[in-house]
Amino acid sequence: MSPRNRRPADPSVIAAIHHPLRRRLIDLIGVDGPATASQLAERTGELVGNISHHLKVLATAGVIEEAPELAKNRRERWWRSTRSSYSWSVADAGGEPAAELIATVAEERNLTHHADKVRQWFERRSEYGDEWVRAAFATESWLTLTPERLTELSTRITDLIQEYYESPSDEPSAVPVYVFSHGVPARP
């Protein structure tokens, strides 16, 4: 059984997601909600034309979609996310060398993205109160599992995260929190 949000390793989707600017756009739309190219250009410091190009690539890949009901006029285009997260495996590439290469590079970029978010927290945690510093966590464990049990663990973690995604905190103290998990065979 694979996680419900797993997409096959379609090289165009994987490549679309893991371009650095497009990854940032996905994060901005996912956290802050629907936005226009102009708003995203302002938040990223990029040119509107460049943002529009990358939004079209993401839309073609099915990662975002237009939200026409938000437009105030026919020229205004709003974009929203189509899902909360993505998961795939190099094995989904089916032995196709080009697809495997794209998925492998994307995995490396993904790991860098995860580590960068933690480094960002380390650099900025003094801007948060003591309750946030105490609440932030890291955990690691050595487990002995079969592939089936690792898949089960992945599904349970994904379901738990999805539960929190579907019921976000609406209290004034709530802020976006980045959560990621890896479970891989390894050696000490």
Yes or no: say if 102 and 14 are a contact pair by the CB < 8 Å rule: yes
Domain ranges of the chain: 11-128
The answer regarding whether domain 11-128 maps to CATH 3.40.190.10 reads no
Yes or no: say if 155 and 3 are a contact pair by the CB < 8 Å rule: yes
Which H or E element spans position 11? helix 11-17
Per-residue pLDDT tens listing for the chain (188 residues): 334 545 555 778 888 888 999 999 999 999 999 999 999 999 999 999 999 999 999 999 999 999 999 999 988 999 999 876 677 788 888 888 988 898 899 999 999 999 999 999 999 999 999 999 999 999 999 999 999 999 999 999 989 998 998 899 999 999 999 999 999 999 88
